Every structure is written in C-alpha cells, then in structure tokens.
C-alpha cells in the first residue's frame, strides 16, 4: 500500500499500438504499449521471438551506431529505443511492456511526440507503490576533449547540453532545460532527429538510415535544411539531443535527480556516464520521490537495501 506523501508509480490504463517504419532497417514494425504491474519497470518484448523479453536497462545497452540498442548478448535485441524511452520519461511512466514484432522501434516522425500522443490516448494511471529516483551525490564524469558528459548533484533533473557541427545550419547550439512534463511535451518532444545528405549513401551501404527521409528527419545538405517546412524550433537540433539524453538517462531504471552536462555527447557517452555513476556506490542513492529524511527509519532502511 502506498504511504501517504509519496509520489505514486504510473502505468497505462489501456494497451495501444502503432505501426511505422524502422529508421535504420527500413522495415515495417508494429509497436504496442501494454500496462504493467507496479515495480515491473519498462520491458521490451519481441512478439516475433516467442515473447522473449529485455529490460530497458543501461546494463543491456551495447555499442551501436546512431541509436541506442538493448541486447541480451545472445541474439535478442531492440534498436532505436531512445525516442520511446524519452516519451515514457517525459510522462513519468514507470511500468510498461513495449511489444514489437521486429528488432527495431518505429521512427514515426523522428521525434517523441507521436509516442507522447499514443501514451496519453491509452490513459495514465497511478499505482499503489512509491516512485523512486536516483539522487546524484557527487560528480561523475566521462569522455575526452572532443565529447564529454557529467552528472552533478542537483535538486531535479536539469540538462545543460552543447552541440557543435561544421554545417552552417547548425554550428554551435546550447540549451539548458529543467525537467517538467508539460515543458517536455511542448519544448522537447517535437524535436526531430537529423542527418546529412552527403552521408546517406555510406550509411545505407552500412545497413543504416534505410528508413530515413524528410518525413521522419531533418535533412541537411550544402549546409542548409532541405525539408520544405523547415524547422519546428530555431534550435531544433540541440533540443533533439536533449530528447535523446532524456531517453538514454531513463535507462538508469528510475528518474535521475541531478544535473547532466554534455558537450557533443551522444548515445555512447550517455551509456558510459551511467556505467560510471553506478560503478561508484557513493555517487548515488535510491530515494522515494519525497525527501528520504521525511521517512521513518524502517522505510529508509528498506529503500537503501533495495538500491
């Protein structure tokens, strides 16, 4: 039973599905969100693999080009999960089963907005279990001079992100954003992924971006945006990188309380940062979504034991 004063976990009221194209394989895929029990977490299930399941967990993330992929090391994987994870993080959904009939999530329009729409149509309900968060207690850093990321103590999830591209349509863009579900819906979720026209042939030869196009990505050629309708935001590029960071960080298994700072960081660096955080036990603690100091000693012990 949920203790008074604690933020409850959330799941979906109903199942809901969509069908789209996978960004990299170019194959059609159906994705269905299902409700899940309290404390079940976020789980991917492959209906084309007899219902085999994979947790949405940083420990299952493997190196993959241009996307985030979870893999059990035995041939079961789900790719391009970052936009789905960002939508779940943005709506503060803790428990859900994500069923797919293929090895890659659909790209939809290249943003998290279609997934936000689906999840809200399914309905979001609270559960009789307290929501927990990962509180950053001391700085953790990874990267080198070209790409880097850090997690620092803070009162809520705040993202400070800088990108730097040679293309004149992008150049250097910086965004500071503090997590808020409504702000996520309006300011972050609609930002689309992007790619460069001159790289497309090489990417497709490598089996990537075969489902990409101007209907699901911002395409840049000769230093300018080629999409007829232009950008959704003047700084849509850095907003999408914030979206990616929100999705990747949710693979921690719970929302993070702290400040993320990234410089030209991407999926690989984000994963390295979570690995570094959890490698140092004194760098974090698991807390209910209310100050742990407001809890009784027995509840504090239970939370620390489960961390």
Q: What is the pLDDT of residues 79-133, one digit of tens each?
A: 999 999 999 999 999 999 999 999 999 999 999 999 999 999 999 999 999 999 9
Q: What is the pLDDT of residues 8-32, one digit of tens each?
A: 999 999 999 999 999 999 999 999 9
| 32-66 burial: b if 16+ Cβ within 10 Å, else e | bbbbbebebbbbbbbeebeeeebbbebebbeebeb
Residue with token string 């309905």: 123
Q: In this structure, how many other beta carbons lie within 10 angstroms of the beta carbon of residue 155?
A: 10
Catalytically annotated residues: 267
Closest CA to 199 of 212, 188, 190, 187: 212
pLDDT for residue 189 is more than 70: yes
How high is the pLDDT of residue 300? 45
Residue 19 and residue 28 in contact, taking contact as beta carbons nearer than 8 Å: yes
Distances (CA, A) of 40 to 82, 178, 235, 253: 19, 27, 37, 10
pLDDT for residue 297 is more than 70: no
pLDDT for residue 268 is more than 80: yes
Q: Which residue has the higher pLDDT, 296 or 255?
A: 255
Distance CA 84, CA 106 (A): 9
pLDDT above 90 coverage of the chain, percent: 87
Picking from 15-19, 61-65, 220-224, 263-267, which range would have the lowest pLDDT averaged per residue? 61-65
Distance CA 233, CA 205 (A): 31
Distance CA 194, CA 220 (A): 8
How wide is the angle at C-alpha 196 spanned by C-alphas 183 and 242, nearest 5°? 20
Q: What is the mean pLDDT of residues 284-307?
A: 58
Q: Which residue has the higher pLDDT, 294 or 200?
A: 200
Distances (CA, A) of 267 to 19, 52, 68, 70: 25, 25, 6, 12
List, in order of start, the domains of the chain with CATH numbers.
Answer: 8-306 (3.30.1700.10)
How high is the pLDDT of residue 4? 63
Q: What is the mean pLDDT of residues 60-70?
A: 89
Q: What count of Cα atoms within 13 Å lies in the side-chain half-sphere of residue 26?
A: 11
Q: What is the mean pLDDT of residues 150-173?
A: 97
pLDDT for residue 293 is more than 60: no
Q: What is the mean pLDDT of residues 27-54?
A: 98
pLDDT band at 63 (very low <50, low <70, confident <90, very high): confident
Q: What is the mean pLDDT of residues 49-71?
A: 93
pLDDT band at 135 (very low <50, low <70, confident <90, very high): very high
Q: What count of Cα atoms within 13 Å lies in the side-chain half-sphere of residue 273?
A: 31
pLDDT for residue 213 is more than 90: yes
How high is the pLDDT of residue 3? 57
pTM to 2 decimals?
0.92
Residue 147 and residue 265 in contact, taking contact as beta carbons nearer than 8 Å: yes
How high is the pLDDT of residue 305? 47
pLDDT for residue 304 is more than 60: no
Distance CA 71, CA 79 (A): 8
Question: H or E segment at 85?
Answer: helix 82-90
Coil, helix or strand at residue 76: coil
Q: What is the mean pLDDT of residues 267-294?
A: 88
Residues 6+ apart with CB under 8 A from 113: 189, 190
pLDDT for residue 306 is more than 60: no
How high is the pLDDT of residue 287? 95
Picking from 116-120, 142-146, 225-229, 248-252, which range would have the lowest pLDDT averaged per residue? 142-146
């Amino acid at each position: 039973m949920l203790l008074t004063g604690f933020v409850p976990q959330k799941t979906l009221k109903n199942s809901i599905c969509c069908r789209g194209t996978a960004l990299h394989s170019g194959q059609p895929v159906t994705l269905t969100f299902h409700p899940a029990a309290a404390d079940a977490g976020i789980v991917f299930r492959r209906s084309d693999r007899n219902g085999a399941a994979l947790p949405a967990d940083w420990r299952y993330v493997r190196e993959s080009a241009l996307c985030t992929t979870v893999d059990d090391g035995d041939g079961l994987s789900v790719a391009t999960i970052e936009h789905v994870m960002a939508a779940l993080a943005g709506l503060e959904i803790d428990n859900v089963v994500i069923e797919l009939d293929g090895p890659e999530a659909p790209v939809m329009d290249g943003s998290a907005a279609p997934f936000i729409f689906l999840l809200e149509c399914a309905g979001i309900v609270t559960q009789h279990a307290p929501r927990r968060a990962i509180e950053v207690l001391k700085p953790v850093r990874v990267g080198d001079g070209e790409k880097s990321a850090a997690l620092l103590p803070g009162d809520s999830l705040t993202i400070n992100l800088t990108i730097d591209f040679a293309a004149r349509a992008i150049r250097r863009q910086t965004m500071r954003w503090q997590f808020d579900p409504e702000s996520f819906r309006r300011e972050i979720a609609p930002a689309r992924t992007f790619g460069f026209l001159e790289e497309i042939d090489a990417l497709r030869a490598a089996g990537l971006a075969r489902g990409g196009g101007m209907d699901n990505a911002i395409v840049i050629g000769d230093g300018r945006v080629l999409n007829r309708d232009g950008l959704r935001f003047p700084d849509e590029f850095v907003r999408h990188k914030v979206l990616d960071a929100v999705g990747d960080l949710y693979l921690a298994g719970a929302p993070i309380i702290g400040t993320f700072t990234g410089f030209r960081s991407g999926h690989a660096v984000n994963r390295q940062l979570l690995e570094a955080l959890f490698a140092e036990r004194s760098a974090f603690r698991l807390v209910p979504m209310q100050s742990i100091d407001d809890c009784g000693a027995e509840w504090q012990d239970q939370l620390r034991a489960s961390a």
